[in-house]
Structure 1
């Protein structure tokens, strides 16, 4: 065999060995059994039934996971409220009702004080939290607050700023 052929064979062997790290790990015997399609599905479903169906059953709730869920919940809540208000404005004239800004303000002013407070809170808290947590997410997108300590610090800042901004809105 000439030198060029030997180099090519060596190159191919090295390439295969480094491309397959398993070549360094000794092989072990694995027992297998032949199953019918139905037996395979039965086996698969039995093992799937033993697995937890949600990470809530495995992991302890943490600030990052709870804030992520809260961010999604406040976003969905605010979106649903905006859509309801929009469709209410569109559909009200079709059924002979009045639903314009002046009517909404009059209805709000006629409510008892505690109901006004709850209505303002129901809008102020989700809007404040979702907005401020959105800034936190933008920080993550730009590469900030990615370490565990800074992520928790940013989460606590969002919670504190949400409390302050919600209180400020309620004081209006």
Structure 2
């Protein structure tokens, strides 16, 4: 925009200094292309519309010409979709959980809660085995998945394992390692 304005200004100054040059521009034989381009005019037909009519008609025409993108439902689901979504979800759950627990830990002395390690360990020790196991799996599953999938992404950042076969294979490896290590941590 600024360059266009500079060219127009310089052409006007040139035309003011040398009026014969613009006459050459109208003939078109020896004129530079910029002078020919500036000397051409096109008539424009306009129609007076109210603001709401103009906006609505423009939007309607744009929507009619807009291409329709295919939706995910026409594609076959792949493991990479699920793992990508799960990686984001587990990251949000873990970070949100750490923030909530951190805020609760800071507010606990003011409110009278006992969130010290000793009181938490005593409370969990009193739970039945099935409840402890379920709670440990509930905590360890998103943590181990996010950690293993994060390592997978770091490996991708090096440029290796980027073929379709390797991506699928590493996805199933991440799921297997997640389940195995989560069960191991829950049984400890």
TM-score between both structures, scaled by the size of structure 2: 0.65
User: 1:34-113 maps to which residues of 2 (within 5 A)?
Assistant: 36-45=54-63, 51=68, 55-113=71-129
Residue 27 of structure 1 corresponds to which residue in structure 2? none
Counterpart check, 1:138 vs 2:138: no
**SS of residue in 2 equivalent to 1:143:** coil
1:50-82 per-position Cα deviation (integer Å, ceiling 9, x unaligned)? 956x94334332111110001111111111111
Distance change (3 Å), C-alpha of 1:42 and 1:116: same
User: What is the root-mean-square deviation in Å for CA atoms of aligned residues?
Assistant: 2.4
Structure 2 residues without counterparts, runs of 5 or longer: 1-46, 48-52
**SS of residue in 1 equivalent to 2:115:** coil
Superposition deviation, residue 95 in structure 1: 1.2
CA contact (8 A) 2:133 2:187 kept: no
Residue 164 of structure 2 corresponds to which residue in structure 1? 148
Q: Which of structures 1 and 2 has the bigger CA Rg?
A: 2
1:109-138 per-position Cα deviation (integer Å, ceiling 9, x unaligned)? 122221111110011111111111111101
Give the Cα separation in 1 of the matches to 2:72 and 2:119: 44
Structure 1 residues without counterparts, runs of 5 or longer: 1-33
> What is the aligned residue count?
137
Q: Which has the higher contact order (CA 8 A, sep 6+)?
A: 1
Residue 30 of structure 1 corresponds to which residue in structure 2? none
**SS of residue in 2 equivalent to 1:99:** coil
TM-score between both structures, scaled by the size of structure 1: 0.71
